[in-house]
């Protein structure tokens, strides 16, 4: 199993507009498209305006995207242009994992702490490694069959293949995350990640 360098986890709060480059150095928040389906799903028009206003207010760039088809992976830059293309048949492995964060959520008048979990993907192609962070675990369900069909090695240290439904996922990870993280280089808890992908 590929052991992820600790430096890859230090970039999760990096909001650089050069995500097509940072994805090769450490975990980068990206929208993931699989045969045209985008995750997280593009928000409705009003929510999209609010998300855009928030990004502008915080000085963040447009969401960047990485797209998978049955044959290739394309990394897009903030201008929506293809910055890199890799053939899936050239992948040596893809590791799916989970990253636990500890943001604070509003609950009545108090801050109520709760863990959240995001999907991690590491795509190994030769000497290059792509580090992808996305809040939607459906990416695994759609991408894994494509990889299996091509004979690509899939690493799944958190047993994402057997995850329960969305409503039960948080309880599953709250119970088993630390046990699954043993023997990997995944941190027990990462610093707050707002996931403005």
Token digits for 58? 């915080």
Give the burial string for 87-120 (b: 16+ CB within 10 Å, else e). ebeebebbbbbbbbbeeeeeeeeeeeeeebbbbb
Would the pLDDT of 77 be above 90? no
Q: What are the pLDDT digits (tens) for 139-188? A: 999 999 999 999 999 999 999 998 876 667 888 888 889 999 999 999 98
Q: What is the pLDDT of residue 109?
A: 46
φ and ψ of 37, to 5 deg? -90, 130
Give the confidence band of 66 by pLDDT, cuts at 50, 70, 90: very high
CA distance 133 to 119: 6
Q: What are the pLDDT digits (tens) for 89-148? A: 999 999 999 998 865 544 444 455 577 889 999 999 999 999 999 989 999 999 999 999
Q: Determine the average pLDDT of the residues in 43-53.
A: 57
Token digits for 139? 């990416």
Residue 40, preceding peptide bond in cis (omega within 30° of 0) = yes
- Of the two residues 24 and 110, the one the predictor is more confident about is 24
Q: What is the pLDDT of residue 162?
A: 86
Give the confidence band of 35 by pLDDT, cuts at 50, 70, 90: very high
Would the pLDDT of 32 be above 70? yes
Give the confidence band of 70 by pLDDT, cuts at 50, 70, 90: very high
Would the pLDDT of 192 be above 80? no
Q: Give the helix/strand (H/E) hosting 140.
A: helix 138-149
3-state secondary structure 68-135: ECCCEEEEECCCCCEEEEEEHHHCCEEEEEEEEECCEEEECCEEEECCEEEEEEEEEECCEEEEEEEC
Give the confidence band of 42 by pLDDT, cuts at 50, 70, 90: low
Would the pLDDT of 86 be above 90? yes
């Amino acid at each position: 199993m590929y052991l992820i360098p600790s430096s890859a986890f230090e970039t999760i709060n990096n909001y650089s507009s050069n995500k097509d480059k940072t994805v090769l150095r450490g975990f980068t928040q990206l929208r993931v498209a699989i045969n045209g389906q985008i995750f997280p799903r593009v928000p409705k028009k009003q929510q999209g305006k609010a998300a855009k206003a928030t990004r502008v207010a915080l000085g963040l760039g447009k969401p960047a995207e990485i797209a998978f088809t049955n044959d290739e992976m394309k990394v897009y830059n903030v201008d929506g242009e293809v910055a890199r293309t890799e053939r899936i048949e050239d992948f040596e492995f893809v590791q799916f994992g989970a990253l636990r964060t500890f943001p604070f959520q509003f609950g009545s008048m108090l801050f109520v702490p709760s863990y959240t979990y995001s999907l991690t993907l590491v795509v190994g192609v030769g000497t290059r490694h792509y580090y992808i962070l996305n809040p939607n675990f459906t990416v695994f369900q759609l991408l894994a069959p494509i990889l299996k069909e091509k004979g690509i090695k899939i690493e799944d240290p958190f047993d994402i293949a057997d995850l329960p439904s969305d409503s039960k996922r948080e309880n599953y990870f709250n119970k088993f995350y630390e046990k699954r993280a043993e023997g990997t280089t995944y941190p027990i808890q990462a610093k707050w990640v707002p996931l403005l992908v």
